[in-house]
Structure 1
Amino acid sequence: MDPLSAAERILAAIRAIPRGETAAYGVVAQRAGLPGRARLVARLLSQNEDPALPWHRVLRADGRSAFPPGSPDHDEQLKRLRREGVAIDVHGRVRPAKRAKTVDEEIWGGP
């Protein structure tokens, strides 16, 4: 059994999100080995007091902030993401990054 607690695994998964990238709550849970526990990720983040934790990189599955639009936390999250170079559309939704080509696509062409 993994010696790390669920909270420690979730925090490690959040810290592993690279600068300039985002992940949905459910993806964080899955990366922490806790599939289906997106609400646990949200609850843990709501209780976070670590200023170094990159909480701003965690979004809803639709690419939007979970904070109400116009709230201080919402504005702070989008500001931090923009500072990292994350593209955000006029509706406050993060634009998904382009998928990297597979080796076959690089060699043989294609999408």
Structure 2
Amino acid sequence: MIPGFSAVVALGSLLVAVWSFVLAARGREPTRPLLAGLAVVEVLLVVQLGVGVALLVAGHHPGSLATYLAYLIGSLVVLPVGTVWALAERSRSSTVVLGITCLAIPVMVLRLYQIWSGAHA
């Protein structure tokens, strides 16, 4: 994994999470700009998938391949599932759901980095 890019993905997701919580505190439902922010984070996650696969093809190996692939693919699914859930009923609560969904991404990125470096924490 590329530590700098992983940090960009995690920070981008945290920024969108803060944005979601601010909107929720104001009693607003998800807005188009917020959904655009989620799309940017998802694009970053797709790039992360490409980088991860490229590193595997180049011969680099994580501590646990199966766990690494599960986190790599799973991180792509979290935002779309959370967005569908949130948009099923647009309300203040759905904005909170998006914020919580965004908080899951930095955790998954950290685990990817730990697995890649062979840490078992």
User: Which TM-score bucket, shorter chain as reference?
Assistant: 0.3 to 0.5
Q: TM-score, normalised by structure 1?
A: 0.33
If each structure's helix is expressed as a fraction of its own residues, which one has the higher value? 2
Q: TM-score, normalised by structure 2?
A: 0.31
